[in-house]
Amino acid sequence: MQAKCVSPSFEFPPQNANLRSVFTSYPGYQFMEVDYASQEAALPTFFSGETVWLDALLGDLDFHKSTAAALYKIPYDKVEKWQRQNAKKATFLMLFGGSAAGLSKKNHIPLQQAQEIVDRFYSGLPMLVSWFNSMHEFVHQNGYLWEMFGRRRIMSHWLNQGRQGMGYVDRSSQNNPTQGGGGNIMRVDLARFYAKVLDPKWQLDESDIILLGSVHDAMISNIIKSIDPLKAVALFQDVMCYPLPGMQPYNLLKPQPSLGPNWGNQLEIPVQQCVLAYLKYDVPYFFKSKKVIHILRQFASDPSFPYRDNAVKHLDPNQIHPRAHKYLEDEIA
């Protein structure tokens, strides 16, 4: 039997602090949520190799602002708020297989304006659009969709349902690798958690970190106050960031931890503290963006830093995406 919760839905709960604050930690514990930052953009970026989005992720740039700069063919620092909003609307529309008509209806804008936004998206992100087209072609030729773990979704019956069926197939071909892949990533993460938490490396009792479950792309847990919070940060990094099929060694997923007394009142743990956790507990695998590379270089240049050798190890260019190699040479303030 499967339980379902509506009004509100807890599959996609509202971002309402008052509502979420109802869910408090056990006595003696803290609430920790670790969610994938920009997962719905990172997966299609990996699949397509779209350089606009790669540079946004690796450079720690505002994702939608970077997209707007590409759509309107202007410098990043010249993007205006309305252009960013249009880019954001177009991004989510296209990732979920939408159309100009859908954009017009959902955002209450004229169809002509919606079509212009979609046209800009197609011209500004050519590698992503090429991947969309290849997915359309694949499903029409083979009758099924795929996601990174090899799971297939049979679509052949829809291909015989006329124009409406074809439209559904094409929308699904853009959506399935991201949504289907993201869902399976979380299923793998849940299994990995129970294997990792019992690993002697972490020296944890079963009750030190209580996994409450997952919501969309986030893992929700209670961690006992007597353990080092950085240990929990490192553990979840080890659980949620690993060589995904085809991604090795450049996993683009970034688990972002938050900590607080309840689900509605948590503070994000700063990236410098996260990197310190990864080095202190020797996490083998984590996403290396511009900011992370700069922090690693600061730690590696400090002879007194206790985990300096680990910092040096993670600056190996073979572990860093080629489009981020330039950050290895940046001047650091």
Q: State if pTM tops 0.85.
A: yes
Confidence of residue 216 (pLDDT cuts 50, 70, 90): confident
Structure tokens at 283: 């996490």
Match 């309107």 to its residue by tokens: 72
pLDDT of residue 248: 62
Domain membership flag for residue 192 = no
**Element containing residue 119 per DSSP (H, E):** helix 111-124
Domain membership flag for residue 228 = no
Whether 47 and 172 map to the same domain: the answer is yes
Q: Which amino acid is at 240?
A: M
Is 152 a residue whose pLDDT tops 90? no
Domain membership flag for residue 129 = yes
Confidence of residue 3 (pLDDT cuts 50, 70, 90): low
Domain membership flag for residue 229 = no
Domain endpoint, select from 152, 179, 206: 179
The sign of the dihedral angle between the CA atoms of 279, 285, 272, 218 is negative
**pLDDT tens digits for 166-213?**
888 888 888 888 888 888 899 999 999 999 998 999 999 989 999 998
Confidence of residue 82 (pLDDT cuts 50, 70, 90): very high
For the chain, the C-alpha Rg in angstroms (whole number) is 21
CA nearest neighbour of 291 among 254, 237, 266: 254
Give 262's strand partners: 24, 265
pLDDT of residue 264: 86
**pLDDT tens digits for 231-262?**
999 999 999 988 887 766 677 889 999 999 98
Interatomic CA distance for residues 145 and 148, integer angstroms: 11
Query: Between residues 163 and 302, which one has the greater pLDDT?
Result: 302
Number of domains composing the chain: 2
Domain membership flag for residue 130 = yes
Is 58 a residue whose pLDDT tops 90? yes
In CATH, what number is assigned to the domain containing residue 138?
1.10.150.20
- How close are the terminal C-alpha atoms of the chain, in Å? 57
Q: Which amino acid is at 2?
A: Q
Domain endpoint, select from 156, 179, 202: 179
Domain membership flag for residue 254 = no
Query: Between residues 301 and 1, which one has the greater pLDDT?
Result: 301
Containing domain of residue 84, as a range? 41-179
Mean pLDDT (whole number) for 47-66: 94
Domain membership flag for residue 89 = yes
Contact between 45 and 53 (Cβ < 8 Å): yes
Confidence of residue 159 (pLDDT cuts 50, 70, 90): confident
Domain endpoint, select from 146, 179, 212: 179
Domain membership flag for residue 217 = no
pLDDT of residue 138: 92
Mean pLDDT (whole number) for 43-54: 91
